[in-house]
Structure 1
Amino acid sequence: MALAALRRAAPALLLYAGTRVLGLVVLAVWGAAAGKSAHQLLSARWDSLWYSRIAEEGYGYTIHLADGSVHSNLAFFPMLPWLERGISAVTPLSVPDAGLAVSSITSLLAAWGIFAVGDLVYGRRVGITLAVLWGVLPVGIVQSMAYSESLFTALAAWSVYAVLTRRWVWAGVLAALAGLTRPVGAAVVAAVWITAAVELLPGGRWRQAWRTNGRVLAGMAIAPLGWLGYVTWVAVRTDSLTGYFDVQNGWGNGFDGGLAFAAFIGGLLVHPPFVAGIALLLAVVALLWLYVCCIRQSQPLPLLVYTGAVLVLALAAKGYFGSKPRLLIPAFPVLIPLAIALARLRPARTALILGSVGLASAAYGAWWLHGSGPP
């Protein structure tokens, strides 16, 4: 069965891999021209350094900045560092290179999971298009970095797929692992819980066999263990019930309902040349419009819950506004309306559009990583 599923997904995986190869080639050429190492940009800058330090030394490293900010590595969830440490222990790879290996493998698993979701709900052609669209996102280069986005998206996509196919225990296990990978793992838990609740409440499938209901309840029980486990561990380590959220506040992060982000956009709109503010505002409007399209298309409940939660957590958080495009990478179902529209075109036209977008994405990704700030 797994081999048959892999054969069915092969075109999506090959095309997705092509988007990643294109991004890496453009980055390497740009880096050679700029005198910078593409390898270092991908594996040893910004958050990658924090993950590597955790893998090598464990938790407990903190930086106190001149402006009063306190940056603790407790802000980073442990799944990626665990994998980096494990791989580097049993292979010749260094910890940073182990991080790149994790991203390379899990980005393909993520593309497979995204294809599987699209194929299940809307057919194979939409699934292929959806996987490629995810690869040609403007910030798609992050999928090849020693970051946790690819790992998280793989776990989230397959957890959502498990919910859609009523594999409740698998859905819970994958949600728990996603919850150990990134804070937005709470979105995967929400998808499992809300969908399960609808099935168990009157009018749902509560009258199924007790054994089936037991699997649903087991999935619900397992799903939050990863996220809650890490947040609880940080609370114990910091001797504070709000320990993890205090750590995030030290980084300038937190949840304010989007007030800081709105103020940031407003600041860009009131100072010339206004282009950045207008572009950012249009991007947010387009993103919300796509989600409305998802609702109008009557996407399955797990997709709507998961996507909505990711959007809320990304857009309504404060701090590091330049990183918001990266935080939105896991929200792959929001691309489904575009995938459906492209899948209806002639294959040659679809290929031309996706190829052009992929080239632009590769160039943008190279430019982005050569900037001064973290993605």
Structure 2
Amino acid sequence: MTDLVQPLAPARSALRRAGPALLAFAAVRLTGIAVLAVWSAANGKSWHTLLSARWDSLWYARVADLGYGYEVHLANGDVHSNLAFFPLLPWLERLVSAVSPLGHADAGLAVSWIASLFAAWGIFAVGDRLYGPAAGTAAAVLWAVLPVGIVESMAYSESLFTALAAWALYAVLGERWIAAGLLASLAGLTRPVGAAVVAAVWVSVAVALRRGEGPRARMLLGALIAPLGAAAYVLWVGRRTGGGLLGYLDVQGQWGNGFDGGLAFARFIGERLGGPAFLAGIGLIVGVALVIWLYVKGVRQRQPLPLLVYCGIVVALALCASGYFGSKPRLLLPAFPLLFPVALALARLRRSRAVLVLAPVALASAVYGAFWLNGSGPP
């Protein structure tokens, strides 16, 4: 019996250490949901529907319910196929629905809420390992209070992906190569940006091999496992569509998604600057500049190479994609290493002062999230 209990001790200790961060994260997210419930009721809408059965949530639930093959044919000839949505979240929705009374939409909501806690724990764990528990806690809370943090409580894949990415990076930092590879593979089954996690694993393995550090066989196995999830799904889509290696890109192209180096986004900002939405254009420029500044700050603070590689790719894919521009803040949610420079600054404050700084930000985030979901919301 002792042999069965002993392996659980490190996990229990880690959970106790992360406890304050997880409680603070949960408090922020529950506040966001409470404000959303009040706002939605005042507008005659259901907060539950907004979180579980709108926009992409519906597509994930349909995959869980009907499998792949569902399409919407638009008047302009474009075809929106559910093949654009990676399978891990729908698989988990189907699993939870099979073992519980929850429907697929509510199962997706349950998966997202649980995954958001693991994501916050993973962010704390990375921050704690690098900068100490105060910075780790601040980073987890900062992730919760982001303006579009309400997405972390929706039946979307951002929380699940961030959880897998954060723990994969934590495994890399601890040189647990096979665990890192497995988590990277699962991240690759969750979102296309899983390539960023794979790249972080590969770069770390390459550096370790060059230095002659660590068990070579385990490093190579981890590197081999890392891309299997994404590669399997992309190849399957290519075979199903007859498009070969480019099949998945064709599916995304029908949705208007692609990578153009940021040209479309630049034109979008330029249109705002030249029209009545001038202030919105200025706000977008400030937002992009802030993201770039935080990344450069992380470089100057000498964040570990895997974090810089991962975060850089997430940021590049988010800012340089040609898809719906309202999605960009949501696409940046997994770029949690951007938060560490601010988390370090907060960690230097007294706890009471840090709370005074974060509390109004959390309330503002809750209000904005309620306003956003009752309006345009995330596509």
- Which category describes the TM-score, using the shorter chain as reference length? over 0.9
The yes-or-no answer on 1:278 pairing with 2:282 is: yes
* SS at 2:192 equivalent: coil
1:227 corresponds in structure 2 to: 230
- 1:1-375 pair list within 5 angstroms: 1-201=10-210, 204-206=211-213, 208=214, 212-241=215-244, 242-375=246-379
Q: Which structure 1 segments of 5+ residues have no match?
A: none
Deviation (angstroms), 1:373: 4.9
Distance 1:147 1:68 in 2: 27
- Structure 1, residues 48-74: CA drift from partner, whole Å, max 9, x if none? 000000000000011111122210000
Please list the CA deviations of residues 107-130 of structure 1 after superposition, one character each: whole Å capped at 9, or x if unmatched. 000000000000000001000000
Q: Structure 2: any 5+ residue segments left out of the alignment?
A: 1-9
Q: Partner letter of residue 348 of structure 1?
A: S
Distance 1:271 1:325 in 2: 22
Deviations 1:253-297 (A, max 9, x none): 011111101111111111124110000110000100000000000
**Distance (Å, rounded) in 2 between the aligned partners of 1:349 and 1:278:** 31
CA-to-partner distance for each residue in 1:136-171, whole Å, 9 max, x for gaps? 000000000000000000000000000000000000
Q: Deviations over 1:53-106 (max 9, x none)?
A: 000000001111112221000000000000000110110011110001001100
Q: Measure, in 2, the Cα distance between the counterparts of 1:308 and 1:273.
A: 29
Aligned AA (1:205): G
User: Root-mean-square deviation (CA), in Å?
Assistant: 0.8
| Number of equivalenced pairs | 369
What amino acid maps onto 2:153 in structure 1?
S
**Helix, strand or coil for the counterpart of 2:80?**
strand
- Distance in 2, Cα, partners of 1:275 & 1:372: 18
Change (3 A) 1:94 1:273: closer
Residue 3 of structure 2 corresponds to none
Q: What CA distance in whole angstroms lies between the structure 2 residues aligned with 1:372 and 1:140?
A: 15
Partners of 2:203 and 2:288 in 1: CA distance: 26
Name the CA distance, whole Å, in 2 between partners of 1:134 and 1:373: 19
Matched-pair identity in %: 67
8 Å CA contact retained: 2:330, 2:378:
no
Distance 1:317 1:220 in 2: 27
Output the CA distance in 2 between the equivalents of 1:90 and 1:163. 33
SS in 1 for 2:187: helix
Give, as a single letter, the amino acid of the residue that structure 1 aligns with 2:89.
L
Letter in 2 for 1:183: P
> Cα offset for 1:240?
1.2
Instruction: Give the structure-1-normalised TM-score.
Output: 0.97
Point out 4+ residue stretches in structure 1 off by more than 2 angstroms: 372-375
Match for 2:298: what amino acid? C
Q: CA deviation at 1:310?
A: 0.3
Distance 1:92 1:61 in 2: 25
